[in-house]
Amino acid sequence: MKAVVLDGFGGLEALVFRDIPKPEPEIGTVVIKIKAFGINHAEMHMRRGEWAEAAPVSGIECVGVVDSCPGGEFKVGQKVAALMGGLGRTINGSYAEYTRVPATNVAVIESDLPWADLAAIPETYATAWTCLFRNLKIERGQTILIRGATSSFGLAAVNLAVNAGLTVIATARSEARFEKLKALGVSRVEIERPDLSKHIAEAKKLDAVLDLVGNSTLLDSLSMVRRDGKVCLAGWLGGLDPIVDFNPLLQMPSGVDFTFFGSFVFGTPEFPLSDVPLQQIAADIAAGNYSAKPSRIFRFDEIREAHRVMEAHEANGKMVVVHDE
């Protein structure tokens, strides 16, 4: 089968097309014929050698049809989505014609949506839904700040939060992206900056902050929620550098809940993928409740260009790759 293999770590040249064996069926796993897959920042960090783990074949999510399932958890030919469970990190991922995924990391996603549209759902929406409804425990009528809202993850979170009846304040890198967020129903958009807490009236009054920028803005985010407010860190759009000399005694506000979510835990007993309503999310997208079209669609042989666009911050939403039929 055709696959994109990491030939060492580095730039776009590290993504090399090769023929490799199709994965064999194993009990407890599902072999999926991949129809399309999303592009994620994690894969860029893996390509550069900045991630703790990187499998020869990258890609942490996909949609497709079941090719084989020895354990009977899914039917051959069934439409499914798959994400994480070691995909792209400890086992070969989705940059290929087929992949083999732990059955715990596969979910049925029957829908008449095009494969490109379905490919925009798994990683971004499963992660955004978990951050909002499980970590932050959002409730209708609350006010939430979403930092890094024009990323694919951020746009999914905006869709979900607005639809759940929250007042959403969003941040973006530039004013050029304001209108896109306003069209999704956010109440206001702010320019992202490290000291945002000094520039918004809601500082110390917010119910929740979803921080996708990362360590460079985390302390600022913590300072903006009310007592019993919640902050969830779940992205690193601002880079992977740690917080230097972080001292909770001096820098953590009292009475504020700080939580983290990494999608690599999906499929574990504590975080079953079945907990995420992917089927309902697909139905809501089909019904027009969310604006979730991919921002760019690439062919399989355009994977390097997809990475170039991502690295240049030109994606402006979720990018997907679709296999030629």
The pLDDT tens digits for 209-224 are: 999 999 999 999 999 9
Over the stretch 102-151, which tens digit does the pLDDT of each residue have?
Answer: 999 999 999 999 999 999 999 999 999 999 999 999 999 999 999 999 99
Instruction: Return the pLDDT at 106.
Output: 96
Over the stretch 284-298, which tens digit does the pLDDT of each residue have?
Answer: 999 999 888 999 999
CATH level 3 topology of 2-120+266-322? Quinone Oxidoreductase; Chain A, domain 1 (3.90.180)
CATH level 3 topology of 123-261? Rossmann fold (3.40.50)
Report the alpha-carbon distance of residue 34 to residue 300 in Å, rounded. 11
Contacts of 167 (CB under 8 A, 6+ apart): 141, 142, 143, 144, 187
Who has greater pLDDT, 87 or 52? Answer: 87
Report the alpha-carbon distance of residue 258 to residue 228 in Å, rounded. 10
Q: What is the rounded average pLDDT for all residues in the chain?
A: 94
- Residue 176 pLDDT greater than 90, yes or no: no
- Hey, do 2-120+266-322 and 123-261 end up sharing a CATH topology, with the first three levels equal? no
Report, as an integer, the average pLDDT of 259-269: 92
- Residue 52 pLDDT greater than 90, yes or no: no
Look at residues 152, 173, 147 and name the one whose alpha carbon lies nearest to residue 290: 152
Report the alpha-carbon distance of residue 214 to residue 233 in Å, rounded. 7
Instruction: Return the pLDDT at 316.
Output: 83
What's this model's pTM, rounded to 2 decimal places?
0.92
Antiparallel, parallel or unpaired: β 206-211 and 188-191: unpaired
Contacts of 35 (CB under 8 A, 6+ apart): 62, 63, 64, 65, 115, 118, 119, 322, 323
Report, as an integer, the average pLDDT of 50-65: 93
Report the alpha-carbon distance of residue 172 to residue 158 in Å, rounded. 12
Angle between the N-to-C axes of helices 152-163 and 122-130, in degrees from 0 to 180, rounded to the nearest 10 = 50
Q: Could you state, in order of their start, the residue ranges of all structural domains in the chain?
A: 2-120+266-322, 123-261
